[in-house]
Every structure is written in C-alpha cells, then in structure tokens.
Amino acid sequence: MRMMTTLVLGFALVASAVGASAKTPLRDVSEIDDAMLWVALAIEISDKCNEIDPRTFKGLSVLYGLKNRAQELGYSNSEIKAYVKSHEEKARMRQRGEKYVKSRGLNPSDPAALCSLGHTEIDRSSKIGVLLKAK
C-alpha cells in the first residue's frame, strides 16, 4: 500500500507540467506510458512479494524524469493530471501489466509468480529490475 501511495504521489509530480495544445494523448506517448508501466509493475511486485523491496528514491527519480519529459513535450498540467488520475487509464495500465506478466508465462495474481518475475527482472537489470532490490 505504501508503494501505491508513492505511485500516486509520483503521478501527482508528473501532473505538474506546462503548456497546452492539440497533441498526441499521453497514453500514446510510449516513452511516458511505457515508463509508467515499468514503475507500476515494480510497485505491484514489491507490494505482493515480501522478498523484494522497492528502490523508492530511484522510482521517484524516474517519475521526476517523466514529469520533466512531459514538460519538454509541452503537456499541460491538466493534460497530465487527466492521464494520471483517469480511472480508465489506471485500468488500462493494470491490463498492460497483467499482459506483461502473462507474456512471461506467469499468473499476475500469484505472489510467488510476481516474486519470480521480480528476481528475474533484478537479475536482468531491466527497466523494472532497477526499481527493485532483493531483501
């Protein structure tokens, strides 16, 4: 739960961007949306697996970076906030995460499977793995 709070807080940080005009929805900006997926998966793994802790400061650093990148891309505070707080986007992100876990041949609702995935991602130093540490 503490990591979900961190994610929500991080999303709020991302939501402090600038400028508005008609542009690609953030959900379609892969460098933002994919990075949000990696953070969300790291949080889910660390919440469900008692063998793995989050690298909280690293996660926050990623989220600050996303905030800065969104600013560079010209997204307004209201556009980013709408993306971050949208129930539809949260459900879509959950589906993406479950699809990722299943693509690894694992059950997303099985804590042992999430532990296995977490250890694999840590060993690979993947974009998810760098956000996690084994206890």
Secondary structure letter of residue 24 according to DSSP: -
pLDDT tens-digit profile of 16-45?
433 444 689 999 999 999 999 999 999 999
pLDDT (mean) for 113-135: 98
Angle, CA 97 vertex, CA 81 and CA 32 arms, to 5°: 40
pLDDT of residue 33: 97
pLDDT, tens only, 46-94:
999 999 999 999 999 999 899 889 989 999 888 888 888 899 999 999 9
- Within 10 angstroms of residue 64's Cβ, the number of other Cβ atoms is 13
As beta bridge partners, residue 53 has 133
CA 10-15-18 angle, 5° bins: 140
The predicted structure's pLDDT at residue 70: 92
Residue 93's SS3 state is: helix
Contact 122, 41 (CB under 8 A): no
Structure tokens at 125: 């130093």
| Reported confidence tier of residue 6, pLDDT bands at 50, 70, 90 | low
